[in-house]
Structure 1
Amino acid sequence: MMNVLAIDTSTGHVVSGIVQVPADGGDPVTLATVDVDSPRGHMELLTPGILQGLDAAGLTPGDIDAVVVGTGPGPFTGLRVGMATAAAFGDALGVPVHGVPSVAAVAATLPDITAADGDDAPDTTAAGTETAADGDDAPARAAQVTDRREVLVITDARRREWYHARYALSPGTAGTAPALETLSPPAVDTPAAVVAAAPAGVPVLVASGVAAQVRELFGPDRRILDDDAHPSARSLVRAALATGADLRADAPPLRALYLRRPDAAEPKPRAVSPALTGDVTARTSAEPTADTPAPGERPVVVTLPPEAAPRCAELEQQLFPGDSPWPVEGFIAEITAPRTHFLGLVLPDDPAAATGADGEGAPTAATGADREGAPTAATGADRDAADRGATVTGEVIGYAGIAVNGPAADPECEIHTIGIDPRHQGRGWAHLLMEPLMELADQLGAPVYLEVRTDNDAARGLYRSYGFEEVGLRRNYYQPSGADAYTMVRPARRADTADGGTDRTDGAADRTDGAADRGTDATPDGDVTVVLGIESSCDETGVGVVALDRRADGGHRVELIADEVASSMDQHARFGGVVPEIASRAHLEALVPTVRAARRALRRRTGRDRPDAVAATIGPGLAGALLVGSAAAKAYAAAWQVPFYAVNHLGGHVAVDAVAGPGGNDAARAQQAPAGGDAARGAEGAPDGGDTLGHAVALLVSGGHTQILEVDGIGHPMRELGGTLDDAAGEAYDKVARLLGLGYPGGPVIDRLAATGDPAAVAFPRGLTRPGDAPYDFSFSGLKTAVARYVEQAERDGRTIAVADLCASFQEAVVDVLTAKAVRACVDTGATTLLLGGGVSANRRLRELARQRCDAAGVALRVPPLRLCTDNGVMTATLAAELIAAGEGPSGLGVGSYPSLDVAVPLVR
C-alpha cells in the first residue's frame, strides 16, 4: 500500500485528497478528500485543505509516499498554485511528484458515475467533505465497468474558447485499475470547432462554467454525464496509474500543459537615429558576463555515454596540455568502468530541456577546472545506470568522474577528474557537477579523496567549499610538467539527509487544533533559528537561508547561509520588459531547483537539511508571480511542519541591511559611514549583524518601484513619504535604452556608457523640483520624452551627439533628483541614515552622488552588497528572522497574496 497526495486547481474547484494505492495494483481508494468550489480561492484554501485531509485520514506529512497533481489545461493562475504546492510538498518530503493532464483525470472519474435506471448520473459527494475509506464504495462501482467507453471532456478556457480532449476507458486486467487511452489530446478551440469535430454518440463530461453552453450547442441528443465535471483526488491517481506511471519511481520534470502562448508581442525594432554617434558595439546589454549566461545557455547534468569520449578528450587537451591529458580511449574506459559514475554538463540544443533538470540551481562561486591523476579500472558491483535526466542533445561543456572503491559496507569515493570548458569557466557551473558527486558519496556514507595541483587556487577553493581538507603533498605528481599535487579528503557524512529530501524516519509530531490554518512558533535549534525565504515578486526566483542567533545579552545576529537566484531576464529581453505570464511560468520551473541549491548550501554550512521557519514575499508585486512563490513556501512549511511568515517585499529590501556573515554587510558597513560626527556613530551598526538601522530613510529604486520610505527599525511599519507618479526610475532607463537602440535591460548599459560621457552635455529637466511640487515624489515620464525630443531635433537639425554624452546627461538628471529628495527627506525627518536598495542602487553614479550628498548633510549612507540590492530570497528570510527575534507570531497558511500590499504592513497574518 502507498499513500498518495493528490492535488488539482485547474478548474474552479480546489481539490486535494489522500488516496491509497493497493499493493496488488487495484483501483485506488480515497482515504480523505477536500473539494471546494471556489474559483478565486486556490491560494487561500489549498494548503489548509491538504492538512485537513491528512488529519481526516489520520496521517502526517511524513506518511505520504508520492504526490500526483493535475497539470491542466486550465486558467494559468489557479493551475500554478496547485502545481507549485505539489512540487514543494514532494521536494520537502523527498517523494516523487507526478503530473497528469487534468482533463485525463476528469475522464478517469467515469468509473465513479453510478448507473441509475439505465441513465448515468454523477457521484455527488458533497464538496468540502472528507470521505473515509470504509465508507467509500467506489471500488465496487469501478468493477462494473466491463467494456470500453469513450468520453469527451470539455472545460472552460475562457476567451470564448473550450479546452477539450477525448479518451477511452477500458477495464484493467484482473486486480488492476482501469486503463485510459487518449483518443484526442488536449487542445483549445472555439465552441463551434469542438462541436463540429465531436464524434456522434460520444457522451460528454463538462465543467460547470460552460455546461449551459455545451447543452445548447450540442442539443438534446448529446448525453451529458456530468455538468460539474472536474478531477477528483482518486481520478488523478487513477489517471496517473493508467498512463503506466510507477508512482514510487522518480518522475519527469513537472510541466504545466499550456495551450496558449503568453500574451506578449515583440516590439518592432526601432531605427537608431543617425544623430547618435559612438561605438555601436558597446550598445548592448545582452553581453554574457561571468555571472550571467547568455539566452539559451542553461546547462543540464546528464550521465555521459561512451560516445561523448572524443568531446571529453578535446576539452581535456585544452585544460591539461602539460599534464598527460587523457586520450579518447582513457575516457571510454572511465565512462564504462563498473562502479564509476561519469557525468557531463551539456548545453542542450533545446533550451527548454534545461529547466527543471535535477542538479540545476542558481550556481554560486566561479571555479576553474582540475584533473585528479590517471584513470583506474574499478571493479565490483554494476555501476548505477540511473540517468540524471531525460536524453539531451547538445554541446558537452564539462565532465566529472567519481569511482566507488572498497567493500559495500565500508566504501570510499575518489574523484578522478572534473573539468569545465574554458569558455564557460567563471559561471559557477562546476557546482552543478560537484553537487551530484557529493550526493552520491553522502548516500553511501563514504569519504571522498582527490588530488589537485598545488597552484590551482580556484579548484582548491571549490573543494574546500564542499568540506575537503588538504591532508598530504605529492611531489612531481603531474607529468610531464612535474607539478605537485595536494591530496584532499572530505570525511564521510550522514546519509539520511543527503538526497535533498528529509529524514522520513523521524516521523512528524501530531498537529494541534487549528494547525491547518495557523503555523506554530519557530522551534529553533538551541538559540539558533534557521529561516528559508522565497522571493518571486517579479522576474527573479530567489531563495535565501539565514540563521538567527540569539545572544545571551538579548541581542541577536542574522547570518547569511545561502543566496540562490534564478533569473528569467533573458526570456523577457526580446519583449523589452518583464512579461508577467512569462515570469510566472519561469518561477514554476525554477523554484524547486533553486530551493534545492539553497538547501545544499545549508547542508554544507551547517549539516542541517531543513529550516525552522519558511518565509515568502506576499506582496507587493506581480500577482501571478507572487502566487507561485508563496504557494510553494506554504507547502514547504506545511510539509516540514514549521511556521510560515508572509512578509512585505519592500520591507525585505530594508531588512537585508541586517545580514552579517560571508556575503553580508559587515564589510560594507565599515566603508559606508561618513567621516565623523554623530551620524557616523549611528551608521556603524553592530559588527555581527542584527537590526541596528533605527530611524532611517530608505530610497528603493528598481524597475517597478521608486519610493522614499521612513523607517523606524526593521520589521516595523514603514511610512511612504513619496514615490513615482508615473514611470519608475528603472523603467525610465529601459525605455530610454530602447529609444537609443541599447537593448534590455537598460540600466547597466546606460551606466556603462555614461562613465565615458559628459553629464553636462545636455541640460535635461528635473521633474517635480519646482517650489510647490511634492517634496518627495518623482516623475520620469517627462524626462523620457525630453530625451526623445532632443534626439529628434538633433536629427532634423543635422547635428550629432555622442551616445555616451546622452546617456551621461540622462543618468545625471535621474540620480540628481533621486539623491536630492532622499537626503532632503533625511534632513526633514531627522533620520541619521539613508539606506539604498533595489536593482538601480547598483548604479555607479547613484551611489557616488548619494555618498557626496550624505557626507555633506552628515547622514550615514548604507548600501547592501550589490547582489543583495536586487530581488533575492535572503531579504525575505532576513525580514522574517527579525520578526521572529521581535517575538512576532507566524502567518496563517490560509493567507492570500497581496499585489498592492502597503509598506505599513510588514507581516500578513
Structure 2
Amino acid sequence: MLVLTIDTATSYVVSGLVEVNRRAGSWGTFEYSATTLTQRVQRNPRGHMELLVPHIQESLAEAGLRPRDVEAVVVGTGPGPFTGLRVGMATGAAFADAIGVPVFGVDSLSATAASVAAGHQECLVLSDARRREWYSATATEAGRLVAGPAVGKPADVLAEHGSKPIAVALTAEVARAIEKLEGEEKAATEAWRIITEDAYPTPEGLALAGADQLWWLEGEGHFVERLGRPLVAQYLRRPDAAEPKRKERTAAVNFAAAAEDVAAFDRLEAEPANAELTVELLTLDRASLADLEEMARIEQELFSEESPWSLEAFRAELANPRNYYVALRVAGQLQGYAGIALNGPTADPEWEIHTVALSPEQQGKGYSRLLMDKLFEPLQVIGGPVYLEVRDGNAPAVGLYESYGFAVTGRRKGYYQPSGADALTMFRPDEKRPSQAGEGVQDGAEGIAEQDVATPGSATDAAESMLVMGIESSCDETGVGVVRMSAPAGDQEETGSAPVVEELVNQVASSMEQHARFGGVVPEIASRAHLEAMQPTMRAAMRSLQKRTRIGQRPDAVAVTIGPGLAGALMVGAAAAKAYAAAWEVPFYAVNHLGGHVAVEALTEEGREPLKNAIALLVSGGHTQILQVDGVGKPMTELGSTLDDAAGEAYDKVSRLLGLGYPGGPVIDRLARQGNRKAIAFPRGMMRPQDSRYDFSFSGLKTAVARFVERAEAAGQVGENAIPVEDVCASFQEAVADVLTAKALRACEDTGAKVLLLGGGVSANSRLRGLAADRCRDAGVELRIPPLPLCTDNGVMIAALAAQLISEGAQPTAMSVGTDPALEVEVPILTE
C-alpha cells in the first residue's frame, strides 16, 4: 500500500512516500514492513507552511507518481507546538479528501519511537513543548503507545521517569536543555540509555505507527473504515484566553426592549469557564459497544412516547458489520449518535438512515450537521441512494434532510407507535451516478472512475469557462466558495468588459459563538476552529458544486486568503488550499483578503463593467479603511484607516459595556431601529477641520458611551427616568454611520470617484446602508453593496478576486509562499 506520511509536530518538516506491507505472524497477529520510496526531511522550525507541500510534490515527481496513486495518508497529530502542528494536519486531511483516500492520525511521539527505538522494547520520547515544558510519552518500538502523551515541567517529567534504566529519545531542543541541568535533576538522567539526541518522526516511523489502522481497509464488512477517523490534534493545553472582568449592568439604561439579549448574555456569563472550548472538546468518531448505555439513555429521553430502542436493540445495530454508527462527544461524553445501514452489495448499494439523535442540551448548535457529514462519508466512497423515515410535523428534521438533497416521497400512516403519528418517507438519489439523477451522461462506476482520474475540467465544455474555488480563514469564519468565470459576449479587449463571474457555492462555518464570553475573537480558539471546520465545510461545498455542475466536477484553480489576518488562522486555510491544489493538480493563487471584499462587486450586473476610479469603504471588526480602487484585482491605495478601534470592534465593546453580548453589531442594529438616533449627541471622532480627512477614531466614541451612562447613573436618572437602551444604541450607531459615510463621500468628492463600494461585515448594518444610500444619491455617486451573505468573510469573494486576476493573466502562486498577516492593500496577489 502506498502511503503519504506527514508530520510537522517538531522542528522538522517531514513528508515521504512509503510502501507498507504486512504478513501473518504468530497467534493470529500481523507483522508490518515499511519501505521509504522518497522522502523530504528538513529542520526548519518556522518553515512548515513554506516547505511541506513543495516537498510532497518533489517526492511524487521523484518517484514518478501522481497524487491519485497515493492510497492513504498518515499524519502526525502531535503533541507539538500548535501552529506548526496544524499545518501538517490541515495539509494531510485536505490532500486525502481531494483524492478520496483515507487519512489516519498517529501520535507523533509514538511515531518517533517507531523511527528510532529498534531493538528496545519500550522507549520514552521527550520533545519540546515551549514555555519551559516538555511533551512526554512511552511507546513500543512498533509505535504503540504505552503511556502518555503528557505535558509538564522538566522537574515533573524527571520526577516520574528519572533514575530509571530506560531507553530515551530526545529532540534536539530537549537534549540541549538536559545539558544545562545541574545537581539532582542532572543526576536523574544518568541512568537513561539515550538512543538519540535528535529524534523526530520519520516517514517510515509514521507509516509503522499507523499500520494497524491502514489494514482496517480490508474486507467487505469493514469498507466504511476506508475513510479513516477525524483527525484530532493533541494540544494538551487549553488556549490562553482571559475573560474580561464583568461589569454590573447600569441602572441608568432601561433594558426592557433587550430582555432576550440580556438574558442570553447572562446565561453565557454563568456558564463554566471552559464551556466555550467546544472546538477542543467536540469529537466525532465511530460508536462502539462502550456507548450502548448512553445511547439507550439519550434514546429514552428523546423518544419516550414512541417506543424507544432498547439497549439490546442498539447492541444488535452496532454488531451488524453493514451498519455504520457515528458518535458525537462533548468533553468526552456521548451527546449524539447517528446510524446508517448498507442494503445490497457494494457494487449496487442502497442505504437507509436508521437514526439521528442529539441530546436536548446540545440541540440548536449545528451539531446535527456534523453527525450527518460524518454519516455520509461512506457514500462518498461507493455512492448509492438513501432512504429514511421522519415523523410528520418534525419540521427541523425535515429541513435538515432537505438540505442534504432528500425529498419527501410518501407517507406511512400510524408508523410511530404507540402515538400513532405518521411518518414521511424521504429519498436522496445517488449523487455518484448521474443517470439516476436524470442527467443521462454516464452509467455505472466505470464512467465515474474515468471522470475522477481525469484532469479537472471546466464548468462547461467551453474552453473559456472555468471554476475557481476560494478558501477564506483570516479571522473567525471558515469559508469555501466557488465561482464560474466565463468570457463576456464579444471580444473582451474590444468591449473592455470584465469577465462574467457567477457565484455557484458559498459555504461558511463560523466560530463566533466560541468567542462570545471573551467579548472578541481569541486567535488560538479561531485557529483550532478552522482546523475542525475545514474538512466538513469543503465537503459541503463540493456537494453543492456537484449539484450545480456535474458529478465528479472539480475546480480548475484554488485560491486562498494569504493575508492580512490572524497568523494562525491564515495558516490553516493556506495549508489546506495548497494541498487541494496540489492533489487536484490545478493552479494555486494566494490573494489579498481586502481585495476580496472589493471583488465581490464583480458578481453583480454593475460589476461586469470595468471599475475605474472608485472608492471602497471596508468596515469590519478588524478593518476600517477608505481605499481608492482602479479596477478589481488591481493594486489599491489606502487613503485612510482607523487610528485605534475598528468600527466593528467599537460595536462589540459598546455591546459588552451595556451587557448585550457578542457580537455587538447585530444586537445594536436591531435595537437601534426602535430607538431615537437623536436622543444623545455622541461625539463624531476625527471630524474637526484640523483632523485627517480620511482617518477614523472610534475609541473616544466608546468612552463617551461609558461616560454618559456613568453620569446618568450618578445623577439618579434610573427607574422610570432611565434612558431606553434602544435610544443609546440608535445614538451610538448614528455617530458611527455618520462619520463613516461622511468621510467616504469626502474621498469620492476629492478624487472625482463616481462609485462607492461598501464592504466588510459592518456593511450589513441597516443604518450604514441607508445613510450611505441617501448621501450617495444626493452626491450623484453610485453605491454598490454586496448581498448580505457576502458582506461577512467568505470564500466566494476570494474566488471572485482570483477569477479576475486569472482573466488578466496573473501567474499562479508558488507553493512555497508563506502567509502574510500584515499584507498591504497595494498587493492583490503574492506570487512567491
Structure 1 and Structure 2 fold alike (TM over 0.5): yes
Asked if 1:49 corresponds to 2:82, the answer is no
Q: Secondary structure at the match of 1:266?
A: coil
**Structure 1 residue runs without a partner (length 5+):** 112-141, 170-177, 289-293, 319-326, 343-380, 511-519, 660-664, 666-683
Deviation digits for residues 86-142 of structure 1, max 9, x if unmatched? 11111112222122222222222224xxxxxxxxxxxxxxxxxxxxxxxxxxxxxx5
Deviation digits for residues 499-558 of structure 1, max 9, x if unmatched? 99x977668689xxxxxxxxx999985333112211100011111122223345246322
Q: Which residue of 2 aligns with 1:152?
A: 124
Asked if 1:893 corresponds to 2:819, the answer is no
Question: Does the 8 Å CA contact 1:658/1:692 hold for their aligned counterparts?
Answer: no
Deviation digits for residues 811-834 of structure 1, max 9, x if unmatched? 111111001111111122122111
Q: Trace 1:412-431 onto structure 2 (pairs within 5 A).
A: none
Q: Secondary structure at the match of 1:772?
A: coil
CA 1:193 to 1:422, structure 2 compared with 1: closer, same or farther past 3 Å? closer
CA 1:775 to 1:247, structure 2 compared with 1: closer, same or farther past 3 Å? farther
Deviation digits for residues 277-314 of structure 1, max 9, x if unmatched? 232624449589xxxxx976989798898997997799
Q: Which residue of 2 aligns with 1:866?
A: 788
Asked if 1:637 corresponds to 2:581, the answer is yes
CA 1:14 to 1:448, structure 2 compared with 1: closer, same or farther past 3 Å? closer
Task: After TM superposition, give the deviation of residue 238 of structure 1 in Å.
Answer: 2.1
Match of 2:87 among 78, 81, 86: 81
Q: Which residue of 1 aligns with 2:159?
A: 196
The 2-side partners of 1:264 and 1:332 are apart by: 43
The 1-side partners of 2:230 and 2:819 are apart by: 26
The 2-side partners of 1:442 and 1:95 are apart by: 10
Q: Which residue of 1 aligns with 2:7?
A: 8
Q: Which amino acid aligns with 1:70?
A: G
Q: Which residue of 1 aligns with 2:270?
A: none
Q: Which residue of 2 aligns with 1:135?
A: none
Q: Which residue of 1 aligns with 2:307?
A: 328
Question: Does the 8 Å CA contact 2:459/2:467 hold for their aligned counterparts?
Answer: no
Match of 1:834 among 756, 760, 781: 756
Task: After TM superposition, give the deviation of residue 886 of structure 1 in Å.
Answer: 2.0
**Structure 2 residue runs without a partner (length 5+):** 24-30, 219-224, 267-274, 438-443
Asked if 1:275 corresponds to 2:252, the answer is yes
Q: Which residue of 1 aligns with 2:64?
A: 58
Q: Which residue of 2 aligns with 1:810?
A: 732
Question: Does the 8 Å CA contact 1:284/1:749 hold for their aligned counterparts?
Answer: no
Q: Which residue of 2 aligns with 1:563?
A: 506
Deviation digits for residues 35-76 of structure 1, max 9, x if unmatched? 111111111111000111112222211111111111222211
Q: Which residue of 2 aligns with 1:574?
A: 517
Q: Trace 1:400-479 onto structure 2 (pairs within 5 A).
A: 404=343
Q: Which residue of 2 aligns with 1:322?
A: none
Match of 2:706 among 760, 768, 788: 788
CA 1:80 to 1:495, structure 2 compared with 1: closer, same or farther past 3 Å? same
Asked if 1:550 corresponds to 2:525, the answer is no
Match of 1:701 among 619, 631, 655: 619
Determine which structure has the larger helix proportion and give its number.
2
Q: Which amino acid aligns with 1:575?
A: F
Q: Which residue of 2 aligns with 1:347?
A: none
Deviation digits for residues 199-237 of structure 1, max 9, x if unmatched? 433343222223222123236845433222211111112
Q: Which amino acid aligns with 2:15?
A: S
Q: Which residue of 2 aligns with 1:717?
A: 635
Identity %: 55
Question: Does the 8 Å CA contact 2:327/2:334 hold for their aligned counterparts?
Answer: no
Q: Which amino acid aligns with 1:19?
A: V
Q: Which residue of 1 aligns with 2:545?
A: 602
The 1-side partners of 2:49 and 2:42 are apart by: 12
CA 1:483 to 1:854, structure 2 compared with 1: closer, same or farther past 3 Å? farther
Q: Which residue of 2 aligns with 1:17?
A: 16
Q: Which residue of 2 aligns with 1:742?
A: 660
Deviation digits for residues 549-576 of structure 1, max 9, x if unmatched? 3345246322222211111111111111
The 2-side partners of 1:630 and 1:38 are apart by: 18
Question: Does the 8 Å CA contact 2:615/2:626 hold for their aligned counterparts?
Answer: yes
Q: Which amino acid aligns with 1:601?
A: S
Question: Does the 8 Å CA contact 2:244/2:519 hold for their aligned counterparts?
Answer: yes
The 1-side partners of 2:383 and 2:106 are apart by: 36
The 2-side partners of 1:787 and 1:805 are apart by: 12
What root-mean-square deviation, in Å, do the aligned CA atoms of Structure 1 and Structure 2 show? 4.3
Q: Secondary structure at the match of 1:562?
A: strand
Match of 1:760 among 645, 656, 678: 678
Task: After TM superposition, give the deviation of residue 452 of structure 1 in Å.
Answer: 10
- Range that drifts further, 430-439 or 225-234: 430-439
Q: Return the TM-score normalized by structure 1.
A: 0.75
CA 1:66 to 1:335, structure 2 compared with 1: closer, same or farther past 3 Å? same
The 1-side partners of 2:481 and 2:404 are apart by: 19
Q: Which amino acid aligns with 2:21?
A: P
The 1-side partners of 2:136 and 2:478 are apart by: 33
- Range that drifts further, 68-77 or 450-459: 450-459
Q: Which residue of 2 aligns with 1:241?
A: 211
CA 1:400 to 1:828, structure 2 compared with 1: closer, same or farther past 3 Å? farther
The 2-side partners of 1:728 and 1:777 are apart by: 11
Match of 1:772 among 666, 669, 690: 690
CA 1:716 to 1:260, structure 2 compared with 1: closer, same or farther past 3 Å? same
Task: After TM superposition, give the deviation of residue 726 of structure 1 in Å.
Answer: 0.6
Deviation digits for residues 658-690 of structure 1, max 9, x if unmatched? 22xxxxx5xxxxxxxxxxxxxxxxxx616xxx4
Question: Does the 8 Å CA contact 1:534/1:873 hold for their aligned counterparts?
Answer: yes
CA 1:857 to 1:244, structure 2 compared with 1: closer, same or farther past 3 Å? closer
Q: Which residue of 2 aligns with 1:537?
A: 474
CA 1:693 to 1:228, structure 2 compared with 1: closer, same or farther past 3 Å? same
Question: Does the 8 Å CA contact 2:561/2:570 hold for their aligned counterparts?
Answer: yes
The 2-side partners of 1:721 and 1:620 are apart by: 17
The 2-side partners of 1:211 and 1:439 are apart by: 43
Question: Does the 8 Å CA contact 1:541/1:591 hold for their aligned counterparts?
Answer: yes
Q: Which amino acid aligns with 2:471?
A: I
Q: Which residue of 2 aligns with 1:847?
A: 769
CA 1:696 to 1:285, structure 2 compared with 1: closer, same or farther past 3 Å? farther
Q: Trace 1:351-366 onto structure 2 (pairs within 5 A).
A: none
Task: After TM superposition, give the deviation of residue 180 of structure 1 in Å.
Answer: 3.5
CA 1:7 to 1:903, structure 2 compared with 1: closer, same or farther past 3 Å? same
- Range that drifts further, 214-223 or 871-880: 214-223
Q: Secondary structure at the match of 1:72?
A: coil
Match of 2:198 among 203, 228, 239: 228
CA 1:275 to 1:492, structure 2 compared with 1: closer, same or farther past 3 Å? closer
Task: After TM superposition, give the deviation of residue 429 of structure 1 in Å.
Answer: 7.8
Question: Does the 8 Å CA contact 2:457/2:556 hold for their aligned counterparts?
Answer: no
CA 1:503 to 1:35, structure 2 compared with 1: closer, same or farther past 3 Å? farther
Question: Does the 8 Å CA contact 2:684/2:701 hold for their aligned counterparts?
Answer: yes
The 2-side partners of 1:337 and 1:559 are apart by: 50
Q: Return the TM-score normalized by structure 2.
A: 0.82
* Total equivalences in the alignment: 772
Q: Which residue of 2 aligns with 1:626?
A: 570
Task: After TM superposition, give the deviation of residue 695 of structure 1 in Å.
Answer: 3.0
The 2-side partners of 1:154 and 1:301 are apart by: 28
Q: Which residue of 1 aligns with 2:741?
A: 819
Task: After TM superposition, give the deviation of residue 489 of structure 1 in Å.
Answer: 6.9
The 1-side partners of 2:688 and 2:567 are apart by: 36
CA 1:409 to 1:49, structure 2 compared with 1: closer, same or farther past 3 Å? closer
Q: Which amino acid aligns with 1:157?
A: A
CA 1:460 to 1:528, structure 2 compared with 1: closer, same or farther past 3 Å? farther
Question: Does the 8 Å CA contact 2:110/2:140 hold for their aligned counterparts?
Answer: no
